[in-house]
């Protein structure tokens, strides 16, 4: 699953209000799936995430996705700081 595929799935779940359980917010299911798989990111994924971090709407997707992952790829440290 590529970074773009993950974003598309995230957006679909978000747009269809599949992120609330008993009135409480939770991350879209794809974020939990990736955490359990301990997904390895490719150079292309890192490039896509770096691009997303420069876009107002998509940077929140990246921030929320990595908020619950076991680790953030080191190559995303500077893009995260710049996005802030």
Each residue's pLDDT tens digit, 27-62? 667 777 777 776 778 899 999 999 999 998 899 889
Q: What does the angle CA 9 – CA 34 – CA 26 come to, to the nearest 5 degrees?
A: 65
**Rounded to an integer, what distance in angstroms lies between the CA atom of residue 25 and that of residue 45?**
26
pLDDT value, residue 57:
84
For the entire predicted model, the pTM comes to 0.77
Q: How many CB atoms lie within 10 A of CB 26?
A: 13
Burial of 82 (0-12, 13-18, 19+ CB in 10 A): exposed
pLDDT of amino acid 83 = 93
Strand runs labelled E in the chain: 20-21, 24-25
Query: What's the rounded mean pLDDT across residues 3-20?
Result: 78
Strand partners, 25: 20
Residue 13: its pLDDT value, please?
79
């Amino acid at each position: 699953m590529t970074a773009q595929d993950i974003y598309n799935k995230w957006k679909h779940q978000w747009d269809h209000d599949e992120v609330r359980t008993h009135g409480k917010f939770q991350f879209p299911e794809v974020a939990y799936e990736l955490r359990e798989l301990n997904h390895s990111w490719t150079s292309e994924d890192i490039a896509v995430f770096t691009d997303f971090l420069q876009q107002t709407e998509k940077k929140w997707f990246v921030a929320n996705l990595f908020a619950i992952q076991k680790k953030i790829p080191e190559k995303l440290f500077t893009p995260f700081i710049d996005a802030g």
